[in-house]
Structure 1
Amino acid sequence: MKKNATPPAPSRALPEPGDDHYQLYKDVREAISSLPIYFRTETHISGVMATDLHTLNTVLGATLEEQVVRTLNLIRNSWDPDEKYALYSFVRQAQTFPDVLLRKTSTDGILLGIELKGWYLLAKEAEPSLRFQVTAAACAQRDLIVIVPWVLGNVISGSPILFEPFVESARYAADYRNYHWQFIRETKQDRGIDSPKIVGPYPSKADQILDKPHSDSGGNFGRLARTGMMDAYMEKLNKVQLCGIKAIYWRQFLKAFQESTTDTEARLALERLRQRVQHALIIPSPKAQSALVIIAELERLLDLGE
């Protein structure tokens, strides 16, 4: 496909007040945004080497997603205050889109779906690795894509804590993904995309629902974080304070620490982080003191490994 005049970007076709379940849709979105307040988990992680922390999303991703669904059901008063939907609940489904359905158990009636993914905020890649390739026609108007960032409470140990989720219309995300792929990104490759011909919302496992690019040697099609739609959100999260230190600095440190080939390089990474913390200590902060404790623990682990 040749890059000619760029057409207008797609717009969001969101539910409107005339929708029978418009208030439910609004309340569910608000409930999702409040997840960091209500989320509780019995999962506790300790004894993980700093060099292995980047693997946590692989290990804990499915567990956290299950616990997020449980939390949504526990706070149903926030999205169903009048008990109008008492027979409905959020349920996970495996290996098909979307990951989560708000469904009536007795009849399998579905009101909306959520494509739900966790994102370990301190992973090596400074962006969610989610590849969303579902075609727009498979997304109902009320369907959402939700990315939930999380870290361990004490950075290198503790129970997972959540931060403000990224919430977007699934149909819009699919439309904009294709728009960016075909008209915005810089490439000399074929920009074409093949979409399945006959597909609708809430497909079965056997249905073909993925858009397929003509050329994608890098495997980047579907990476929403690389379309620009998440830029402002990710910039905001980079400034989140973890034990008094911005998330972006923790990520830079862990990446350098993980890629260190010698103890000397690892100690240099620790020293750079210590300097950032000590700079923060110009204004005394219990959180920054906590960061120094974490650094001391990492140094102790290094000493044990010698």
Structure 2
Amino acid sequence: MGLSREYTDDEEIAIREAVPGDLPTLAAFTADTWESGDYIADAFPRWMASDDPNTKTFVAADLTADPLAADEVEGVDPDDVGELPDDRPVGICQAVGLTDHEGWMQAMRVDPDYRGRGLSVAMNDAGFHWLHETGRRVARNMVFSWNTGGLGTSRACGFDAGTEFRWVEPEPDADAPEATGEAAAVDADPDAAWSFWAGSDARDDLRGLTLNTDESWSLSELTRERLRDAAADDRLQVVSAADGGIGGVSYRARTTEREEDGEEITRAEYGVAAWADPDAAEALFAAISRDAAAAGADRTRVLVPEDVRWVSDTAAAGVDIGDEPDFVMAADLTRRQWER
């Protein structure tokens, strides 16, 4: 995609694919997105180096302004930049094809000096259009529940309410008990796990969504094949119920390395935790703790539905709970929002 005017009526702005030379300007206006900074400057060179056909990064470009060079922005490596564009990137977003029919929109940022000009909608329309052209029929995104601006922008872009979840954090513990009350760890049979998930209240509350194993910070529909892959890699956790059937299911989606306060931290992320009763919840979190320890993790993060039942069962199991839920929103791409 070259310069495109079909997504905006602003005569100074065009939407185009991102290029490596956009890095300095993007790094400059995203540096203070949050008090803790932003990941865009670190992630952007990786995005530009990748030839993944399932990912497309877009920018809104001011045709009347010049971009910043690497030597004008602290911390930018000139080797990551290359040739500068002829315009100035003032917004960015990324579209990702998670499965053959599901897309994900992420990394939406707009230069504060250009907000209020409809650039989020224009870039999002370009992403929706590309996802539809590549066969996807639903697009989702994630917004922190406290981010009212992001929620409003998402609705303006064509997203509707989807679901919500909470991160919880059981401690890695190789000695966590295998049995709790009437529940205990059992063989990780992925087909039995799938049957439990398919009929669970957790699946209904999450609308079938769990952490995607390929793209961090994204959710997609859990499939039987994903559970089979997890079982084959010894990443599936299953516990029994009081009646001897399946009482709870989880799977490790990935382990990640990151630096926190100058220390390298390994975190194990679990795509979902679903259970039938409080005993099963406690046994399942213990199974997750053992798995995380075996994976060499220092910390965990587990996705659970945002509902008083799930959160209170987690609290009763003695597991740390995140302060705020996260919202997932969804857009039906057959509505062709980019033709608004």
TM-score over 0.5 (shorter chain): no
When the two structures are superposed, what TM-score results if normalisation uses the length of structure 2?
Answer: 0.26
When the two structures are superposed, what TM-score results if normalisation uses the length of structure 1?
Answer: 0.28
More strand by share: 2
